[in-house]
Amino acid sequence: MQNKINRRTDIITIIIFLCLIFIPAVLFWVIPDIKMSEDENRSLQQMPAFSAENLVSGKFTRSMAKYYADQFPFRNTFVGVKTLFSWGFLINENKGAVITPEGWLIQRFDKYSEKSIAEKSSEELGGDLTFDENMANIKNNCGYINNFYENIKDLYPDINLTVAVPPRKIDVMTNKLPAFFPVDRNEKYFAELEKYINQDIYFNLPDVLKSHNEEYIYYRTDHHWTTLGAYYAYNALSEKMGYTPLSINNFTIEIASEDFYGVTWSKAGAKWIKPDIITYFKRFDELYKTEIHGSDKSRILYGFYDIVQLSKKDKYASFLGGINSHISVYIDNDYFKRKEKLLLIADSFGQSLAPFLACNYYNIEIIDTRFFNDNIYDFIKEYDITDILILVNMENLSTQNNLVKLTAK
């Protein structure tokens, strides 16, 4: 009798073992390949093309390994379970994102490549930079900005120029990090910035935001500041830029979405983290138009928000319709015409700041130097710009060099 039970147990074990091996293998070939991961906000590896050259070089086998990893059946579920399992064993980090007990996901920036760009092969490019390369980018970008300022003083001496660098979440929300978490290298980023930037045009945003870090000023699942964080930046910048900010009580606060999952959530795989809330601070929005320029993207929004984006993964793109090379925000009414015209040179942090600035500048031209390729000085003349705000967050300032475009006369 006992032998029959043992044999039945062995058979069941073998069946389960074979199912675990063959069912995923069958599903792998039956389920169609997925081109894009909405959760991770990235393209997934597709079946690589075979060639003798790729096989000999090892490129084919590396691509095939990525293909299996990206297209494994129920991959998102397994990623979430793996992250939850690790977190249960007090491993509070995944893919460079710190997972805090309070449900915050904070991207860390103190891990660097061991190879410089010059030492990397073509397949290794696009990854992390070395610490020295980050510092060099900050120094170089400060040089481009300082050069731009000198050119502006020479060509358009009446224009007021301000530079503000939105800090990364890890620079501000240090109160959310685990005890004794290392932040010494992060502090060197802004020390390097203040060392090289012209202090006549620089405004210190980190200190402003740190004074509010007990509030909901950054999204828990994303790297951007919230609308409240953007308001505090708008309120503080008035001191440097010379406008009178509106009180927060002048705005009607509207909840736009309660299920926003940001970029950091996509990377971390912490599926149990609750979504963020996106709010709009509204005041006479019906007076404004947002014009998105570009041959394939030209369109007009009535107000500041592209509501269609709220039904998509990247809900932050609802601010001004998302990232574009050139956007105009203005009041289309002669009664409100004023001479002040602001040029906002910004990355995506400017999207949620612009509606506040529009309360004081009824005409704003917004460009993103990552995609804008026209001559900046001709642009300033064409649009009769009177004020300029450069707003590039520290992550981009330390990893990119697009601001070199500001120096081309």
Predicted pLDDT at 265: 87
Highest mean pLDDT among 27-36, 50-59, 79-88: 50-59
Is the pLDDT confidence value at 119 over 80? no
User: What does each C-alpha distance from 316 to 48, 193, 319, 322 come to in angstroms?
Assistant: 33, 27, 6, 7
Pairing of strands 202-203, 363-367: unpaired
Q: How large is the average pLDDT for residues 35-55?
A: 59
Distances (CA, A) of 315 to 61, 203, 226, 267: 37, 29, 12, 16
Look up residue 25 and give its two tokens.
């293998």
Task: Report phi then psi at 193, rounded to 5.
Answer: -60, -50
The answer for residues whose C-beta is within 8 angstroms of residue 214's C-beta and 6 or more apart is 175
Is a pLDDT exceeding 60 seen at residue 174?
yes
Q: pLDDT tens-digit profile of 216-248?
A: 999 999 999 999 999 999 999 999 999 999 999
What was the pLDDT predicted at 82? 47
The residue whose two tokens read 């500001």 is: 406
Q: H or E element: which one contains 9?
A: helix 2-30
How far is the C-alpha of 183 from the C-alpha of 397, rounded, in Å? 18
Reading the block at residue 20, the tokens are 């675990």
Give the pairing of strands 342-346 and 276-282. unpaired
Q: Kindly state the tokens that stand for 55.
A: 């096989």
What does the alpha-carbon distance between residue 22 and residue 126 come to, in Å, rounded to a whole number? 36
Can you give the C-alpha Rg of the chain in angstroms? 25
pLDDT tens-digit map of 189-224: 999 999 999 999 999 999 999 999 999 999 999 999
Interaxial angle between packed helices 75-88 and 59-71, expressed in degrees from 0 to 180 and rounded to the nearest 10:
80
The predicted structure's pLDDT at residue 89:
37
pLDDT, tens digit (0-9, with 9 covering 90-100), for 291-327: 999 767 689 999 999 999 999 989 999 999 999 999 9
Q: Closest Cα partner for 300 from 275, 265, 325, 330?
A: 330
Decide: helix, strand or coil at residue 326.
strand
What is the distance between the terminal CA atoms of the chain, rounded to a whole angstrom? 92
Is it the case that residue 69 has pLDDT exceeding 90? Answer: no
Residue whose structure tokens are 């004020």? 387
Amino acid at 154: D
Amino acid at 279: T
* Helix/strand/coil percent split, the chain, to 5: 45, 15, 40
Tens of pLDDT, residue by residue over 24-38, are: 555 455 556 555 555
Instruction: Name the amino acid, one letter, at 81.
Output: V
Structure tokens at 374: 């026209």
Q: Which two tokens stand for residue 218?
A: 């950054």
- List strands edge to edge, sheet with 97-99: 93-94, 97-99, 105-107
Of 2-6, 85-89, 118-122, the poorest mean pLDDT is in: 85-89
